[in-house]
Structure 1
Amino acid sequence: MALVFGAEIPFVDHCAIEEVGLFEGRTRLRMKLGPQHMNNIGIAHGGAICTLLDVAMGTAGRTYAGRPVMTLDMQVAFLSPGRAGVLTGEGRVVRGGRSILFCEAEVRDEAGELVAKSSGVFKPVK
């Protein structure tokens, strides 16, 4: 099992999400799309994109808080289809405190086109 920003997350392994960069309060991930990520019309399934967004925000929150976080709320806007290739997710903490973090994330395709964006609220946990 791979470590993603110091955490063992089996579902992240299952989704083939890889870390690319780590900065305080910011993260960059990628997911190489395979058949398991696609829906019945041949584009990335919304759930796969949501997972990439959630993990991008959550790992940004983890770097900010210095401990695990859990998602309390998440809003997603799908802007264009995710086609075959690699999707890149970037997450960031917009505002953080000791008990709650506000985060945002974006997913882009290989051409740099914005596929989806999200905002979320996260709670640091022990």
Structure 2
Amino acid sequence: MKLSKELQEVQEKFSESPFWQTMGFELDHLEEGKSILKMPVSKGLENVLGTLHGGAYAGLLDTAMGITGRSVEKQPLVTIDMTIHYFRAVSEGAVYAEGKVLSRSSSLITLEAKAYDESNNMVAHSVGGFKISRKASQR
């Protein structure tokens, strides 16, 4: 995947995160205003039923929205709210999350992420509000 210098910096910032590495996220696609993340289902992310834990879905969806927002704003973002709807359990393979921008203002950005299994069934959906940091330091 060929990225502009700005998007490459966004990708590097996220992929260096300990959370990103712990969850096993992989970036499949990144362009300004859109991302696709992949998360392999692993034993460490399962719930007591042997399926992907809801918190793992939440982490994937939140991160897909965060990297998508950062691709547009080029500034750090902070999640201020997030709703999730769970549709299907996943117990093997991988889950993909596609993030996109819904609306923007000078201080807030609203994003959406949809998660799919390897058969392209939607397994979860989220909408989140993110505060845009306008601080001089770029974390």
* TM class by smaller structure: over 0.9
Query: What does residue 62 of structure 1 align with?
Result: 70
User: Could you tell me whether the CA contact under 8 Å between 1:65 and 1:98 is conserved in 2?
Assistant: no
Q: Secondary structure at the match of 2:19?
A: helix
Q: Which runs of structure 2 are paired with 1:15-54 in the superposition (5 Å)? A: 15-54=23-62
SS in structure 2 at match of 1:82: coil
Q: Which has the larger radius of gyration?
A: 2
Alignment identity in percent?
A: 35
- Greater per-residue helix proportion: 2
- The CA deviation at 1:4 is 6.4
Map 1:1-126 → 2, pairs under 5 A = 5-7=11-13, 8-125=16-133, 126=135
Higher mean C-alpha deviation, range 45-54 or range 94-103: 94-103
- Structure 2 distance, partners of 1:22, 1:68, is 17
More strand by share: 1
User: How far apart, in 2, do the equivalents of 1:4 and 1:60 lie?
Assistant: 9
| Unmatched 5+ stretches in structure 2 | 1-8
How far off its partner does 1:100 sit? 0.3
Take 2:90 and 2:109, find their aligned partners in 1: how far apart are those partners?
A: 28
Q: TM-score, normalised by structure 2?
A: 0.85
1:56-99: CA deviation from partner (whole Å, max 9, x where unpaired): 00111000101111100000000111221010011111111221
Question: How many pairs align?
Answer: 124
| RMSD (Å), alpha carbons | 1.3
Runs of 4+, deviation exceeding 6 Å: none
